[in-house]
Amino acid sequence: MYFRALYAPTEYTTTSWTGRHHLERSAAIKCPTVLTHLAGSKKVQQALTTAKTLEHFLPHHPASTLASLRSTFAPQYDVHPGSEGLKLATDPSTAVNHVLKPQREGGGNNIYRTSIPTFLQSIPPSAYSGYILMELIKTPPDAKNTVLRSDGSVVSGNVISELGIFGACLWRRRERSPGLENVRIGLAGAGHTGMGLAGQQEPEILHNEGGGYLLRTKGKDSDEGGVAAGFSSLDSLILYE
């Protein structure tokens, strides 16, 4: 079952909450399951960059390996009152190097650079927890390419490319109690209690492999990057030493 909707808050009515709860409790294979869906949220991504979380998922690796891996992550911060992230976000001299991301798909929803302090002043502090602050990724200054846009125009100049890696994973969750098996994942939220969300189940990986890549290239001055929205174009990789 492939979810083409239920990614925006406005898509969750009382009826759709009930429908998704029913689907998550079923034995249907879901893409994504609610846990995978939540794993793609900005707050979970921010939590995954911390040293403590990385140690949890890679418990038998030396500290030097974990430090090397973390060095490839873009720094991400909470922006709750009193946090380091809020200080970076409200100071124009540091906000210019960051992007403020809400808990939803990025296209058209992010706030960039010097617009961040003004935006935060326009919302109540109680709403800050719905955002994370991420340091902007610095791209090579001399990257140039020629781009064919969706409107048929051809543009040449400095560009930024974004590489996304696809993967396919199929798993089921077995209860720890002998003789019991459960392959359902319940929906937490809106008054529902999810099965498997309290650590009472452990996953059994049935299939896990890479599925190729997608490279998007856009103009250096563009903050948005969607291909379908016309901001970027499909590209291919050239590997070199």
Please give the residue that has the higher pLDDT: either 104 or 227.
104
pLDDT the model gives residue 107 = 64
pLDDT the model gives residue 160 = 87
The pLDDT confidence band at residue 229, using thresholds 50, 70 and 90, is low
Q: Worst-scoring range by mean pLDDT, 27-41, 176-190, 196-210, 211-225? A: 176-190
pLDDT the model gives residue 106 = 56
- Is a pLDDT exceeding 90 seen at residue 146? no
Q: Worst-scoring range by mean pLDDT, 87-91, 139-143, 216-220? A: 139-143
Query: What class has domain 139-241?
Result: alpha beta
pLDDT digits (tens, 9 = 90+) for 103-136: 876 567 899 999 999 999 999 999 998 899 999 9
- Is a pLDDT exceeding 90 seen at residue 202? no
- Beta strands, E only, 39-189: 76-78, 98-102, 111-112, 131-135, 144-148, 154-175
pLDDT digits (tens, 9 = 90+) for 72-109: 999 999 999 999 999 999 999 999 999 999 987 656 78
Residue range 40-135, CATH number: 3.30.1490.50
3-class secondary-structure state, position 163: strand
- Is a pLDDT exceeding 70 seen at residue 225? no
Q: Do domains 40-135 and 139-241 have the same CATH topology?
A: no
Q: Which residues of 148-175 are buried (b: 16+ CB within 10 A; e: fewer)?
A: eeeeeeeeeeebbbeeeeeeeeebbbee
Residue range 172-179: mean pLDDT, rounded = 62
Determine the Cα angle at 98 with ends 8 and 66, to 5°.
90
Please give the residue that has the higher pLDDT: either 175 or 218.
218
239 CB neighbour count, 10 Å cutoff: 4
The domain segmentation of the chain, as residue ranges, is 40-135, 139-241
Residue range 52-73: mean pLDDT, rounded = 92
Residue range 133-140: mean pLDDT, rounded = 88
pLDDT digits (tens, 9 = 90+) for 23-50: 999 989 888 888 888 888 888 989 988 9
